[in-house]
Structure 1
Amino acid sequence: MSSEQWKKRCVDEWGLQDAPLPDSVDWKSVYESKPFSRNLLKNSSPYGLTKDGPPPEADLPEEPDRGPPRFVPEGDFSGWTTRSEVLPYDSSGIPEGAVICQLPQASWFTMEQVVDLKAVGLWEELLDGFQPEIVIQDWYEESQLHKFIYQLHVRLLGADNTTVIAEHTVNPTEDLSIYSHNWKGVSHVFSGYGPGVRYVHFLHRLKNQFLNGFWNTMFTGSSVMINPNK
């Protein structure tokens, strides 16, 4: 197929009639990359779960775990850069003089990815002039571990992979007065963000806790999608 034929396939399949369509673009590569019809994040569900079913209930250990605290959850985190941040013990609310046998120790588990928008099939004229919507979505478990169990920080970066052109942060507070063990959705749409965007940096943190066993907050369905419309 000629380049013009590949371009027509892209326009017809994704509705790009109003977008800039320069001849300098390798339209065969764009079509094969399919940047408008797939999640650009890798390994969006490391726990093998989906939001279509409730999160699994935690298994209570038959005997308390007396071993050293654990702060990294089990899962296939390929495609993610991960790190764990152990938090100080929280002794607030404990009466003075009370005998403390053991306190829960919490940690943040951070997972992040960077999406190279040109590498996945987008082109500069589209990103700078047309500025298609960049749609972010994520789902996290209501683990009831703490009133703060989830954080999301997404940044649109320039060509140097450092300059921040736009960003969005979520840091919700959980209502612990009612038990609810479901998935909670988080979403945001970047639009009209200005020229120069070349990367999407996706970072979220979920809280874990160790007390006679390891308890973590899971996530699923993380996504970065490009809407071919403004």
Structure 2
Amino acid sequence: MAAEWKQKCDSEWALGANGVPMPDGVDWKYVCEKKPFERNLLQNPSPYGVSHKTPPPEHPVTGVPPPSHQPPRFEPEGHFSGWSTSTEVLPYDTSGIPPGVVICHLPQHRWFSLEQRVDLKAEGLWDQVLDEFQPEIVIEDWYEESQLHKYIYVLEVKLLGADGKTVIKEHTCSPEEDLECYSHTWKKVSHVFSNYGPGVRYIHFLHKLKNKFMIEFFNTKVTDSSIVIKVTKSV
């Protein structure tokens, strides 16, 4: 029966043809059921309920504060199951304001972070494929272009060892927005990990989105986040 599951996995992903090690000690039934290749390993990849295939929703700017019986909104709305979230309040930026000027409102910016840790062995991968074959790990994310600030998005992805702490490889991206050219669209961020060395057992995925409050609340959305393990390698 074990040989049949091994053959099924091989026929589904052509593991042997692509040079993927297939030792007998692997629970091939578990591998087939988990389907670790060519699928998104992240949970809840679109927590804001939107897709990059359609334009980002427009935020109606009214310039009117919320009713006095309602507390001001400082956190984004969404369904964040599967993600660990946190908020970092940033200090007010008073640079460029001349002395003596009366300030009625200043924008308050916050970073809203969403992160997940993926256990690669729990997702169906095995030691030999991670250490010897080292399949490509493809990262993709889409964030909403806006004019909230020059920096509104940060991506940090780390490949971690068996202890869940040792960083074997990492990738960080913090693009700068062109505030003079505004199209309000989705921007793609991607990276491919390859030849990262043996020992990878976890992937830590984190992105930070900048929010702004000034009379009203404005936030930056993200969607279609993904981690995909490839069987074939790029030439």
SS of residue matched to 1:140 = strand
Q: Is the 8 A contact 2:142 2:223 kept in 1?
A: yes
Residue 15 (structure 1) shift: 2.0
Other-structure match for 2:198:
195
Q: Which residue of 1 aligns with 2:100?
A: 97
Q: Match for residue 11 of structure 2?
A: 12
Letter in 2 for 1:4: A
How far the C-alpha of 1:72 sits from its partner, in A, is 1.6
The 8 Å contact of residues 105 and 210 in structure 1, kept in 2 or not, is answered as yes
1:21 aligns with 2:22: yes
Equivalent residues in 2 for 1:50-199, closer than 5 Å: 50-61=51-62, 63-65=64-66, 70-199=73-202
Q: Structure 2: give runs of 5+ residues left out of the alignment.
A: none
Contact 1:71 1:84 in 2 (8 A): no
State the TM-score, normalized to the length of structure 2. 0.94
What's the CA shift for 1:179?
A: 1.6
1:68 CA displacement: 5.7
Distance in structure 2 (CA, Å) of the matches to 1:68 and 1:91: 25
Partner letter of residue 11 of structure 1?
Answer: D
2:46 corresponds to: 45
Given residue 74 of structure 1, which amino acid in structure 2 is its aligned partner? E
1:143 maps to a residue whose letter is: S
3-state SS in 1 of match to 2:31: helix
For 1:69 and 1:84, locate their aligned partners in 2 and report how far apart those are by CA, in whole Å.
16
The percentage of aligned residue pairs carrying the same residue is 63
* Deviation of the 1:118 alpha carbon: 0.1
RMSD (Å) for aligned C-alpha atoms: 1.3
Q: Partners in 2 of 1:135 and 1:62 — Cα distance?
A: 42
SS at match of 2:12: helix
CA distance in structure 2 between the aligned counterparts of 1:152 and 1:130, rounded to whole angstroms:
26
Alignment: residue pair count: 229
SS at match of 1:155: strand
Q: Which amino acid aligns with 1:5?
A: E
In structure 2, give the amino acid aligned to 1:46: P
Aligned partners of 2:208 and 2:115: how far apart in 1?
A: 9
Query: Shift in Å at residue 69 of structure 1?
Result: 5.0
Superposed CA offset, 1:136-195 (max 9, x none)? 000000021000000000000000000000000001100000121000000000000000
Kindly indicate whether the alpha-carbon contact (under 8 Å) linking 1:43 and 1:77 is maintained by their aligned counterparts in 2: yes
